[in-house]
Structure 1
Amino acid sequence: MLFQNENLIVRSLNEADKFFLEKWLSDPSILEFYEGRDHPFDIDKVTDVFYDSEDDVVKCMVEYEGTEIGYIQFYQLDDVTKKEYGYLNENVYGTDQFIGEKANWNKGLGTLLVSSMLNYLVKRKQAERVVMDPQVRNSRAIKCYEKCGFKKIRILPKHELHEGKYQDCWLMEYKKLK
């Protein structure tokens, strides 16, 4: 387990989590903003992307009250991305997440998850900044991130290829208080 906050647990992925990821990432309402409805996942794609990839992304399952409800990942920004975003010699992390169980939408769990991850990254990883890049049209996620203390920094034009079209994204930042 990476951390727990109230009834929320974030832990490393295990083998059984493949089936949750396959379910969530084949659901058009999840794919609308995460990966794209034109790229649903099957078990082989889940295995390839979440289990067989050799990257520096920490991939985690989110549980609430003992039930798997979503996914979160975090990573330290590489030098190329830091330069692109305008950061120099800082410890900057990025994160991506979704609540996969729609019955848990609009209950404040996204806010609890993001704020808990911020706390973890700042305290345990000494992150000075945490960034996200949601699509401009993803107003629900942006509202959640703003509740957690993220600020819109600038538009990243045509930043993400999504459903065959390049989408503008917000560079959003949480800056550690000194």
Structure 2
Amino acid sequence: MELRGDDVVLRPVGDGEGEVLDGIVREPEVAAWWSPPEDYEGMLAIVFEGEVIGAVQFEEETDPEFRRAGIDIFLTARHHGKGLGTDAVRTLARWLVRECGHHRLTIDPAAANTAAIRSYGKVGFRPVGIMRAYGRDHQTGLWQDALLMDLLAEELT
């Protein structure tokens, strides 16, 4: 699978790219929100101008009564604020809606991650509510709140 956005390409993580992604998730600006996963299998590399700059993943609920998909993303700090994360999320969201038939998508950034929340809002995600003590702060070990956001297919920008 290869998905093309306006500026980024999403494709399966290739051999040896796990090391690159490990370096990215250890950057202080990224490590504040992410901890290194056990492996990068099932993730899509975010490629910009031939360089892996992050990864995005999705999970799907396939029960017809509750069908939906969720998205998670991280991007090297060097490319924060350039719209590339927004492009990656929008590209994956379009595929999940148009090709996989999901009518609703969710994303759940830390409530304090205002840059991520702003980025997801540009794609069309809307705040649903605060999930209290949802995940651990990777630096302090304390529980932190997350903002549940969702997007209905007809709201996708």
**What is the TM-score with the length of structure 2 in the denominator?**
0.89
- Work out whether 1:175 is the aligned partner of 2:130: no
Counterpart selection for 2:78 from 103, 113, 120? 103
| Alignment size in residue pairs | 153
Aligned to 1:137: 112
Could you report, residue by residue, the CA deviation over 1:17-62 in whole angstroms, capped at 9, with x for unpaired residues? 1121121122222101112xxxxx5xxxx6x3324xxxxxx31101
| 2:152 alignment partner AA | K
- 1:112 & 1:6 partners in 2: Cα distance? 7
Could you report, residue by residue, the CA deviation over 1:103-133 in whole angstroms, capped at 9, with x for unpaired residues? 2111111111111111011011111111011
> Looking at CA atoms only, which structure, 1 or 2, has the larger radius of gyration?
1
- 1:99 & 1:32 partners in 2: Cα distance? 12
Aligned to 2:51: 67
- 1:72 & 1:32 partners in 2: Cα distance? 17
Higher relative contact order, chain-length normalized (CA < 8 Å, sep 6+): 2
- 1:114 & 1:71 partners in 2: Cα distance? 10
**What is the TM-score with the length of structure 1 in the denominator?**
0.79
- Partner of 1:141: helix, strand, or coil? helix
Answer yes or no: is the 8 Å Cα contact 1:129–1:174 preserved in 2.
yes
- 2:102 & 2:2 partners in 1: Cα distance? 16
Aligned to 2:103: 128
Question: How large is the Cα RMSD of the aligned pairs?
Answer: 1.9
Q: Which runs of 5+ in 1 are unaligned?
A: 36-40, 52-57, 80-87
- Partner of 1:167: helix, strand, or coil? strand
Q: Which runs of 5+ in 2 are unaligned?
A: none
Percent identical: 25
Displacement of 1:147? 0.9
- Partner of 1:155: helix, strand, or coil? strand
- Partner of 2:135: helix, strand, or coil? strand
Counterpart selection for 1:93 from 69, 78, 84? 69
| 2:115 alignment partner AA | R
Aligned to 2:23: 23
- 2:55 & 2:109 partners in 1: Cα distance? 16
Superposed structure 1 runs of 4+ greater than 3 Å apart: none
Aligned to 1:82: none
Aligned to 2:8: 8
- 2:142 & 2:80 partners in 1: Cα distance? 27
Displacement of 1:78? 7.0
- Partner of 1:49: helix, strand, or coil? coil
- 2:67 & 2:62 partners in 1: Cα distance? 10
